Structure 1
Amino acid sequence: MKLLRLLPLALALPVALASCSKDNESAGSSKLEVRLMDAPGDYQSVVLDVQQVEVHLQDEANPDGWQLLPFKAQTINVLEYVNGKSALLVNTDFAPGDLKEIRLVLGSGSYVIGRDGQRYDLKTPSGQTSGVKLKLDQATLRERETFQLLLDFDVAKSVVERGNWKPGNDRKERYLLKPVVRVVAQAIKGGLRGTVAPAAALPQVLAIRSSITVPDTFSTAADASGAYQLSGLPSGTYKVQFFPSTTAPANQPAYKVVTRTGITVTNEQVTDLGQTSLN
Structure 2
Amino acid sequence: MKLSNQLSALVVFSALFFACSKDEVSEGTGKLALSVTDAPIDANNVKAVYVTFTGLEYQNNGGTWETATDFTGPQTVNILDLQNGKTSLLGNYTLKSGNYSGLRFKLDAPSKGTNNPTNPGCYVELNTGEKMPLFVPSGSQSGYKANGNFSVPINGTVEVTADFDLRKSITVTGSGNTYILNPTLKIIVNNQSGSISGIVSNLAGDKKYVLYSYEKDKYTNSESNEPTGENVRFPNAISSTKINSTGAYTLSFLAAGNYDLILVSETATGQIKVEKQVNGITVQSQKTTSLNIAL
Structure-2-length-normalised TM-score: 0.47
Structure-1-length-normalised TM-score: 0.49
